[in-house]
Structure 1
Amino acid sequence: MRDTAAVLDAVSGGAPGDLGGPAPLPPGGPAAMAGRDPGRRRVGVLAHAPDHAPQVADEVREAVLDTARILERLGHEVEEAYPARMLEPRCLEAFFDAPSVTAVPSVETLTRELGEEPGPDDLDPVTWLRVRRGREITGLELAGALVRQNGLRAAMAHWWQEFDPPLSPVFATPPGPVGWPWREPDGRQKSVDALTFTAVQHHRPARDRGTGGAERVRRAHRHPAGGGLRTGGPAGVRGRAAGGGAPLGVTSAPGLPGRGDAALLDGMVQSARARR
């Protein structure tokens, strides 16, 4: 926990010209908070996946429930609760569509640097899929994706007025081994299936950043989505799904790379040149 807090201290903040703004930090920063008594917290638990997503692995679900029980023994208020909008397919899809538009100018920059357009053999499969989607998405579809992102941001912020940390799996499946076959269809699909929770948990209300679109990737690769999910709440944890948060207007625009994007793009150029 202290190591994680120190990393957050090191990477937090923004740069002039960044879209949005950095999330406010507690006095002294995360590292200072790691050594303080947190007091009694209200924890919302989500240990099951929605009906449209692959099932959470038993060992992953049990790890979440074990953590919930530990927190309860430590005196925290623990109950099954999460923003109802968080796992809606349309919201998750927005996290694929909007960033896909920004992939197109990145590839155009690579094309200028390399003198030819990179193809499927030069880019990883999901990046290539984002480029394809980014080129076909219409202005109205992009606006709709941004509105859904902002609506989800409002719903998450509303939820945080009543709760402290959400507790959920990081991935729906155990981590893959070193050398995971990312470029093989089964390996790619399994990695997509694991993104059920990170699609939203990477998206904080204060910042227009996120990952996701697992359903979009799944359909594009023509792999059937899993079914038969257990949607009941975890044993011993009180159940309630919290909604709320009306959609907001579009407040940000895609396509403007930030500080991290420039470094990533430079690395992509150097890697592509080395392969050639």
Structure 2
Amino acid sequence: MSDATAQAEQVRAGETDAATTVEDAIARCEQVNPSINAIVERTYESARHRAAQLDAARHRAAQLDAARHRAAQLDAESSGRAAGGLLAGVPTALKDLFCPAEGEPGYQGNRRLAELDYRYAETGAVARRLAEAGAISIGHSHSPELGGGQCPAAAETALYGPCRNPWNTDHTVLGSSGGAAAAVAAGIVRIAHASDGGGSIRIPASANGLVGLKPSRGRISSAPAGEGWGGGTTDGAVALTVRDAALALDVLAGAEPGDPYAPAHPAPAAGYVAEVGQHPGQLHIGVSSTIPFEVTDPLCTQAAEAAAGLLDSLGHRVEQALPEPMASNDYMYDYVRIMRASATATLRSYESALGRPWTEDDVEPVAWINYQRGTKISGADLLASRERLHQFTRQIVQWWNAEPGQGDGFDLLLTPTLGVLPPRVGHLVEGDERTLTKRLAKVTPYLPQFNVSGQPAISVPLGTPEGMSPEGLPIGIQLVAAPGREDVLLRVAAQMEQAAPWVHRRPPVHAAQ
């Protein structure tokens, strides 16, 4: 199975059309989704309609003679742009969480919003940019209830049930972009929208053997929404290959009027895809395969150490090192406070649609606990937490060189993506709130720091024996760059992909089989 880049090239070359790619994706979904529950709301008919529009536009564009029919060509330019776009005719899935597309379901894993058949009233920048590039969503992917539910890192909800890992269906896909990752890993689509507020792109990318790039703060606009979680959230994608991750970033990156943030470093003039295959030079890479405040599964540690050996063999200067602020997880007290206040504000924003205040029966138990706690956070306490996190950011980013290969600092940090292997289905959502909080902390010791700091980070599979567990579950490693330096991440990730490829691996549940 080829990647999304190749699929778009085939559509642009006329070797296939959007109608065919969409019908193929729908057939794949019908084949494997009953086993993994990755796509929770199907939008097949709108996908078929969109594919017909793109094919018609491409056909008109091919028939137009620019010299003799300029007026007709002008009419075709807006509709034909997507037909020849970076993701021309590529099926995808939108995450069922804060990714508005006008008229589509906005249930976000919540049973009350589903009962109301709540629909989005407008289209956000992410869904619009995907559509303008020619991507066609066939449905909404599984994620936790309103971004939190019983566990923000588990795509298991009371409304839809659990999403299962295509590599081993007894295990979770993790999350929150779990359905997106499962859909790509199982071959339903070749790339899918995802988002990350505490690791939610990187976590399921690791658990499902994919590439998951969390962009820098401000690289991708959240319009029409404001900042999420104090600027800690961002959209992105999960993908089969590094070049697909770069392609998604080229599609989604860019400012919208009124954005509260701008990335610390401009995007490459030629785009991010052009960075894939470029030699990164010799980089100074710090490695931490363990972390002081949490026990890391030995297999995750082993994978990080194997990746360090691979990078050393590729000519980089690799040594054991950890930014000092990462030695403690004290920052999480303040980040959790912001998450809870944000979750409370989000729930209240839906009260007009609900027609009344939320009650305990409307949401999952842990979500209700967090909502109640969020109502008790004062404005002064919230601002104090924001200030402490700004100080944390200033401290941590000093570890990195602003320009790769220059200065006395490090260019990249290498860690395991996860602290544990993907647990069995139910482990992260069954139990009391205190128990579930401790279990979640064991999954994510290496991840939320970089949502707070706004740095770009990428999880890639390890295409070596250390990259798979005895249970047949993939193990990812994380690379973190200086603010705004996605270009460095993509160069090095592509270098690793070429040296130890992973794309040939297929899970037992896969539509191509």
- For the aligned pair, the TM-score class normalised by the smaller chain equals 0.5 to 0.7
**Counterpart secondary structure, 2:245:** helix
Counterpart-to-counterpart distance in 2, 1:50 and 1:167? 15
Q: Secondary structure at the match of 1:49?
A: coil
Give the TM-score normalised by structure 2.
0.37
Larger Rg: 2
More helix by share: 1
Counterpart mapping for 1:166-181 below 5 A:
166-177=413-424, 179-181=425-427
Counterpart CA distance in 2 for 1:96 and 1:130 is 10
Q: What secondary structure sits across from 1:160 in the alignment?
A: coil
For residue 270 of structure 2, what is the aligned residue in structure 1?
A: 28
| Offset at residue 137 of structure 1 (A) | 1.7
One-letter amino acid matched to 2:321: A
Give the match for residue 234 of structure 1: none
Work out whether residues 98 and 145 of structure 1, in 8 Å CA contact, stay in contact via their aligned partners in 2: yes
Matches of 1:69 and 1:171, distance apart in 2? 19
CA-atom RMSD, angstroms?
2.5
Judged with a 3 Å threshold, the aligned counterparts in structure 2 of structure 1 residues 133 and 34 are, in CA distance, closer, same or farther, namely farther
Alpha-carbon distance between aligned partners in 2 of 1:19 and 1:134, rounded to the nearest angstrom: 23
- Amino acid in structure 1 at the alignment position of 2:282: R
Deviation at 1:172, TM superposition (A): 0.5
Deviations 1:40-59 (A, max 9, x none): 111111111223x3x10010
Contact residue 86 and residue 152 of structure 1 kept, 8 A: no
* Offset, 1:121: 4.5
Say whether residues 1:84 and 2:333 are aligned partners.
no
1:146 has 2:393 as partner = no
Matched, 1:67 2:304: no
Of 73-82 and 5-14, the range deviating more from structure 2? 5-14
- 113-122 or 94-103, which deviates more: 113-122
Matches within 5 A, 1:45-194: 45-51=287-293, 53=294, 55-124=295-364, 127-161=367-401, 162-177=409-424, 179-185=425-431, 189-194=438-443
Contact 1:49 1:56 in 2 (8 A): yes
Comparing 119-128 with 83-92, greater Cα deviation is found at 119-128
Q: Residue 202 of structure 1: which of 451, 457, 476 is its match?
A: 451
CA contact (8 A) 1:181 1:188 kept: no
Shift of 1:120: 4.5
State how far apart, in whole Å, the 2-side matches of 1:33 and 1:120 are.
49
Contact 1:125-1:183 at 8 Å conserved across structures: no
Residues 71 and 125 (structure 1), Cα distance of their counterparts in 2 relative to 1, 3 Å cut: farther
Could you tell me which residue of structure 2 aligns to residue 11 of structure 1?
A: 252
Preserved CA contact (<8 Å) 1:95 1:149:
yes
Unaligned runs of 5+ in 2: 1-241, 402-408, 457-513
- SS of the equivalent of 1:148 reads helix
| 2: CA distance, partners of 1:142 / 1:12 | 30
Q: Distance in 2 between matches of 1:126 and 1:45?
A: 35
Query: Does the aligned pair in 1 maintain the 2:392–2:453 contact within 8 Å?
Result: no
> Using a 3 Å threshold, how does the CA distance of structure 1 residues 70 and 129 change in structure 2: closer, same or farther?
farther
Q: Which structure: greater strand fraction?
A: 2
In the superposition, relative to structure 1, how do residues 120 and 5 fare at CA in structure 2: closer, same or farther (>3 Å)? farther
- The CA deviation at 1:79 is 1.3
Deviation sequence 1:5-46 (CA, Å, 0-9, x none): 222223323322222223432332322111211111111111
Question: Following the alignment from structure 1 to structure 2, what is the Cα–Cα distance between the partners of residues 36 and 149?
Answer: 35
Note the C-alpha offset of 1:65. 0.6
Give the gaps of 5 or more residues in structure 1: 208-276
Do the aligned residues in 2 keep the contact of 1:50 with 1:87 (CA within 8 Å)?
Answer: yes
Question: What is the number of equivalent residue pairs in this alignment?
Answer: 204
* Distance in 1 (alpha carbons) for counterparts of 2:422 and 2:453: 24
Higher relative contact order (CA 8 A, sep 6+): 1
- Aligned amino acid, residue 40 of structure 1: Q
Query: For residues 124 and 47 of structure 1, what CA distance do their matches in structure 2 show?
Result: 35
Identical counterparts, % of pairs? 26
1:41 aligns to what?
A: 283
Distance across 2 between alignment mates of 1:123 and 1:23: 38
1:251-270 matched pairs, under 5 angstroms = none
Letter in 2 for 1:193: K
Greater mean deviation of Cα atoms: 132-141 or 181-190: 181-190
Distance (Å, rounded) in 2 between the aligned partners of 1:83 and 1:67: 19
Range that drifts further, 114-123 or 142-151: 114-123
After TM superposition, the score normalised by the length of structure 1 is 0.65
**Equivalent residue number for residue 228 of structure 1:** none
**Gap change, CA 1:120 and 1:73, over 3 Å in 2:** farther
Structure 1 residue 89, shift from structure 2 partner: 2.8
- 8 Å CA contact retained: 1:12, 1:22: no
Amino acid across the alignment from 2:451: H
